[in-house]
Amino acid sequence: MPQTTSKSLVSLINTSLKPELSRRQFLRRLGVGASASLLASQSIAQSLAIDITDHESAQLTKDDLPAASIDANPSLVANTKATSAPSQCLNPSIETRLFASSNVGANEVRNQLALQRMACAGFKIQNPAITERQYLRFAGTDSQRASDLQNIASGAIAAPKLLLGVRGGYGAMRILPSIDWRTLGSIMAERATVLVGFSDVTAIQCALLAQGKMSSLAGPMLYSEFGKTNPDQVSCRQFAQALSNPKLTIEVNSAALTSEQLPVIFADNSSQMITGTIWGGNLSVVSALAGSPYLPRIDGGIVFLEDVGEQTYRIERMLYDLYLAGVFKGQQAIVFGALTGTGEDSYDPRYDVAVVIRQLHELTGLPIYNGMSFGHISQKSSFPLGATCQISANTAGGYQLSFADYPTIKAEAINVEGFWQQA
């Protein structure tokens, strides 16, 4: 482990953790549960892809914790290096509202930095004060958090062009019954509003699609990405691309983010082309919604799933939750993003994610596509959920996802370099 990383970790331990914490409590404070001990062979700075020296990192949640970095796309890295110099900020013109459905973002300096960057990138945030709310661990009371979206559904507040999640963690499920999703979806469709988030915000995105018939964007959030000391420039560029490109495509040529032991395409006919509505998100949240009216029921759909810090047996249990609830029936395919931080099974190291996904393929008979570059990782590729998705094999032995039928924002209104501007 690099010396600087070791010092950062020591600083985190000394300043943020009580000496009487048990090993399990220590790992939970780091944010990924007991399986975190199984990540020790990796560089912690690379594995978490966060600013570990920040004091608020002592209360990390899943949206803060990319458990792996992916190999950089050389062209993207080249572009990043070429544009490292400060850029001119745009006059913010994209009407934007924040919604804070989950954990509080407790570091005010980080909040302010994120807000400044969004403005520099061209986004005019109308309700920045919600970053100051807190009730227990949440970003406000249930009523306050629900009002971020319900006020739009009721007509009290006009729908913006962008609805950006503040952060994930936990809490979104608590507010689902308090929102008129059908009306909200209708208003958002008329305004062509883009709602963005992932992790715990999956609950919001699923409810919006299930009851409001409205798409959203799986992408980075205010506090957990744009408030970092050094936001991931590749993720920022991919976010801007997904926001502005009405014909987004994503190429996947490796299964490594899901499991190095799996093929990229796990199907009886790897050359088939599949077209359907892509939906899903964080596996923990999707499985928790099974049996509720907030889980989409889409005929001929394509299910996307990702997660972090969950041991292999827990991943399988959640997949069985969905299988036994009949969620995979009528679906055309399953796409896995990053399943990171699973570690090694304490009973038998041969029991891993690859075994679980092979079992899922046998159970469902569905083609499974692995390694999509989204989840709790750096260099993530944002993409629309609830949109039309076509999956086809590419010439490199992998696959391509092509998206259509989702709202976008004019590219010229976005200053992508503003997302990582330094204060």
In this prediction, residue 47 carries a pLDDT of 36
Q: Based on the residue annotation, tell me whether 344 is a catalytic residue of this protein.
A: no
d(CA 407, CA 161): 9
**Burial status of residue 302 (CB atoms within 10 A of its CB: 0-12, 13-18, 19 or more):** buried
Residues 23, 37: Cα–Cα separation, whole Å: 9
Nearest of 9, 24, 15, 33 to residue 314 by alpha carbon: 33
Between CA 240 and CA 410 the distance in angstroms is 10
Catalytic entry in 306, 310, 316, 417 = 306
pLDDT of residue 422: 86
Question: Between helices 202-212 and 181-191, what is the axis angle to 10°?
Answer: 90
Cβ-contact 182, 149 below 8 angstroms? no
Phi, psi of 149 (to 5 degrees): -105, -35
Residue 122 has, within 13 A of its CA and on its CB side, a CA count of 18
For 123, the 3-state DSSP assignment is strand
Backbone φ and ψ of 170, nearest 5°: -160, 150
Torsion of CA 26, 31, 32, 37, to 10 degrees: -30
Q: Is 195 exposed, middle or buried (0-12, 13-18, 19+ CB in 10 A)?
A: buried
Output DSSP code: residue 119.
H
Element (H or E) spanning 98, and its range?
A: strand 94-99
Helix H segments across 65-221? 74-82, 108-120, 142-153, 172-175, 181-191, 202-212
Name which of 140, 198, 197, 151 is nearest 174 in CA terms.
140
Note whether 394 and 407 are within 8 A (CB): no
Annotated active-site residue in 57, 376, 382, 417 = 376
Clarify whether 56 is annotated catalytic.
no
Q: Which of 8, 199, 215, 373 is catalytic?
A: 199
Q: Which of 314, 369, 366 is nearest to 341 (CA)?
A: 314
DSSP 226: I
Q: 71 burial class (0-12, 13-18, 19+ CB within 10 angstroms)?
A: exposed
What tokens were used for 102? 């989950």
In the annotation, is 376 catalytic? yes
- Residue 192's pLDDT is 98
Specify whether the CB–CB gap between 112 and 138 falls below 8 A: no
How do strand 265-266 and strand 249-252 relate by DSSP bridges? unpaired
Q: Are 383 and 248 in contact (CB under 8 A)?
A: yes
pLDDT for 88: 87
Q: Find residue 389's DSSP bridge partners.
A: 276, 403
The pLDDT assigned to 9 comes to 40
Tens of each residue's pLDDT in the chain, 423 residues: 444 444 444 344 344 434 344 333 433 443 333 333 333 333 333 333 334 334 333 344 565 554 444 444 444 444 444 444 556 899 999 999 999 999 999 999 999 999 999 999 999 999 999 999 999 999 999 999 999 999 999 999 999 999 999 999 999 999 999 999 999 999 999 999 999 999 999 999 999 999 999 999 999 999 999 999 999 999 999 999 999 999 999 999 999 999 999 999 999 999 999 999 999 999 999 999 999 999 999 999 999 999 999 999 999 999 999 999 999 999 999 999 999 999 999 999 999 999 999 999 999 999 999 999 999 999 999 999 999 999 999 999 999 999 999 999 999 999 999 999 986
Distance CA 195, CA 218 (A): 9
